Structure 1
Amino acid sequence: MTFRHFLGRVAATAALIPCLALAAGKAPADAPAWPRPLPADADPSKPVLVLIIDDIGQNLDYGKQALALPGPMTFAFLPQTPHAVELAKAARAQGSGLLLHAPMANQHHYPLGPGGLTLKQNREELQQTLEQDLADLPPVDGVNNHMGSALTEDRERMNWVMEILKPRKLYFLDSRTTAATVATASAFQHQVPWLQRDVFLDDDKSLKAIAGQLERAATLAKRHGYAIAIGHPYPETLKVLGERLPELRKEGFRQMSTTQLLSWLDSATGNTGQPSESAPALPEPVEPQAPGSQVKRRPPAVLLCMSPHRQHWQQRSRGYRPQCP
């Protein structure tokens, strides 16, 4: 390598550093603090676990299994999915929390499916889409983001979202799929009630990994008084939760829905400042496989083993999810 080539590589690396820093991102200065302060009557011997199951509505059997988990639970429904209305009505009847799981633009350009909120939409288009998503479901308590690593970094568009939520007295739960999310800052600015995710349970779908993430949520709940964990209606996730939640209750943990947690936290004050590092941003989780789907095509052999994100794209756009051996 000549000295000139060496200098060229050094210059190229130096030019890349600001891009890497930008990609890492960080929360805005006006982001409210997380965890939020505990009420004065909080009992440290009874930490609170808040569990949310995303992506409900695609598959009826998995949805029913999720609704049968020990509660209180919260369920997030994808708009315009075949079983969302039926399962949302059943969840409401049993007293569970209900969220619209709003598909939002992501940095990986994964297809959003129907009802998606995109960066290309103007204010009227985005708000009309969100209003239609809400109208397609029975009344919900709030909204959380499905994917959304791009949209939740866009302050203007998150402001448009909050303009819809505020008059409806809905809250926003930030799934934190990017470290540079402005969602809670926008909610705080618009006086929209808000929460944020602490743990993703099943980014790794192995039983051991899911159990470990649930224990991580329990540890955070002991440390902070409560923790919010998000999972999906995977068979593995349902198995771990079905077995472990009764044990955690015997160990002194309480469960709350997101609505119950908000009501409990609202009696405390001091919700200002910077967010904590307890909830690092993660890539958008892979969508659950939907057995019994009408699409029966077998994927080509070349697709049988690929990254989780590539699998996600294949499922959302082509109706199947390749499985690695």
Structure 2
Amino acid sequence: MRVLLSVFLLSDAWAAGPGAAGPGAAGPGAAEPPAQKPRIAVVLDDFGLTYKKNVPDDKWMALKWPATFAVMPSSPLTKSAAKAALASGHELIIHFPFDPFLRLELPKDRVSPADLDKVTKLWQKCLSDIPGAVGVNNHRSEKATRNRPLMEAFMGLVKAQGMYFVDSWVSPKSVAKDEAAKAGLKTGRGTVFIDEAKRHDKAFCVRMLRRAATHARKHGWAIAIGHHYFQGTYDCLAEEAPKLQAEGFEFVPASAVVR
């Protein structure tokens, strides 16, 4: 299965991040609140899907810092992966695939009944097979996330469950985060991908994770997205996360950085 991934950095336009103090947050003479550590949320996609050289899921579940596990629907391993992720104490979200998985029509000015039916049925299956999920991010879906009518309709489904939405930002023209915000969801956008289909060695992951840390140092937060398949990604996170913690960074679930 081909994984199309690109590295995107967030624009400074959405840079304040959670926890930013507003005007008048502390009056004269008030004690200064402790400075919040820069936060990094690591989202690991595609749990429930397997490839030949997968890192065993139990190694991910044993991570000593909070991570977010995104589980794919409609896989023979979906239910078991979701159950294990929930039992691990890490955050569980739905990794929702639009195109090319659902073969959508995607008219520009409306949502076709056929598209809405496909999306709604898969969403209902997600809720049944991935209980305990608190958020959603998109799997691929380069075309769907650019389609405003579909994103508006989908965010209504997500809002009804009280979940948050992370735009994986596989397309720079994505409107998914914008529509999530309009719907009143807590939302965010991926800062970097720490691995790719053709670049998943440890050195690449370290470089991208450090790029996420630079963003977090500047803006207070970053969302780093990777995949559970790759040994290089696991080795990178196992080694670099403690180093970054020692440097003053905090690893948090994605729910801690969406707003």
TM-score bin (small chain): 0.7 to 0.9
State how far apart, in whole Å, the 2-side matches of 1:63 and 1:119 are.
35
Q: Which residue of 2 aligns with 1:292?
A: none
1:224 matched to 2:219? The reply is: yes
Deviations 1:79-98 (A, max 9, x none): 12232322322222232111
- Structure 1: gaps (5+ residues): 1-31, 106-110, 266-325
The aligned amino acid for 2:74 is Q
Q: Structure 1 117/144 Cα, relative in aligned 2: closer, same or farther at 3 Å?
A: farther
**Larger Cα Rg: Structure 1 or Structure 2?**
1
Q: How does 1:33-182 map to 2 (within 5 A)?
A: 33-39=13-19, 40=21, 43=35, 46-59=37-50, 62-105=56-99, 111-112=100-101, 116=102, 118-119=104-105, 121-182=114-175
SS at the partner of 1:143? strand
Q: Any conservation in 2 of the 1:69–1:241 contact (CA below 8 Å)?
A: no
> Greater relative contact order: 1 or 2 (C-alpha under 8 angstroms, separation 6 or more)?
2
Give the secondary-structure state (helix, strand or coil) at the position aligned to 1:82. coil
Three-state SS of the structure 2 residue aligned to 1:98 is strand
The DSSP-based 3-state class of the residue aligned with 1:191 is: coil
Residue in 2 that maps onto 1:14: none
The 5 Å alignment of 1:260-271 reads 260-262=256-258, 265=259
Cα deviation code 1:99-121 (max 9, x no counterpart): 1101121xxxxx52xxx373363
Is the contact between residue 57 and residue 63 of structure 1 (CA under 8 Å) also seen in structure 2?
Answer: no
State the alpha-carbon separation in 2 of the partners of residues 50 and 128 from structure 1: 30
Deviations 1:47-85 (A, max 9, x none): 111000000112385322222223200000011223232
Q: Tell me if the contact between 1:77 and 1:101 (Cα under 8 Å) persists in the aligned partners.
A: yes
Q: 1:171 to 1:198 in 2, by over 3 A?
A: same
**What TM-score do the two structures reach when normalised by structure 1?**
0.64
Q: What TM-score do you get using the length of structure 2 for normalisation? A: 0.79
Q: Distance between the aligned counterparts of 2:131 and 2:18, measured in 1?
A: 31
Q: Is the 8 A contact 1:50 1:257 kept in 2?
A: yes
Match of 1:199 among 173, 181, 192: 192
- 1:255 corresponds to which residue? 251
1:142 and 1:174 map into 2 onto residues whose CA distance is 11
- The one-letter code of the counterpart of 1:153 is R
Q: Please give the alpha-carbon distance, in whole angstroms, between the structure 2 residues aligned to 1:163 and 1:174.
A: 15
User: Aligned match of 1:240 in 236, 241, 253?
Assistant: 236
Q: How much has 1:42 moved relative to structure 2?
A: 7.0
Q: Tell me, what secondary structure is at the counterpart of 1:176?
A: coil
Does the 8 Å contact 1:76/1:98 carry over to 2?
A: yes
Name the CA distance, whole Å, in 1 between partners of 2:34 and 2:168. Answer: 25
Asked if the contact 1:201/1:213 (under 8 Å) is kept, the reply is: yes
Which secondary structure state, in structure 2, belongs to the residue aligned with residue 43 of structure 1? coil
Aligned-pair Cα RMSD in Å: 2.2
Structure 2: runs of 5 or more not aligned: 1-11, 22-32, 107-113
2: CA distance, partners of 1:119 / 1:241: 39
Partners in 1 of 2:73 and 2:117 — Cα distance? 19
What residue is the counterpart of 1:9 in the other structure?
A: none
Aligned residues: 224
Q: 1:38 to 1:141 in 2, by over 3 A?
A: closer
Q: Which amino acid aligns with 1:118?
A: L
The answer as to whether partners of 1:119 and 1:151 remain within 8 angstroms in 2 is no
Deviates more, 1:126-135 or 1:167-176: 126-135
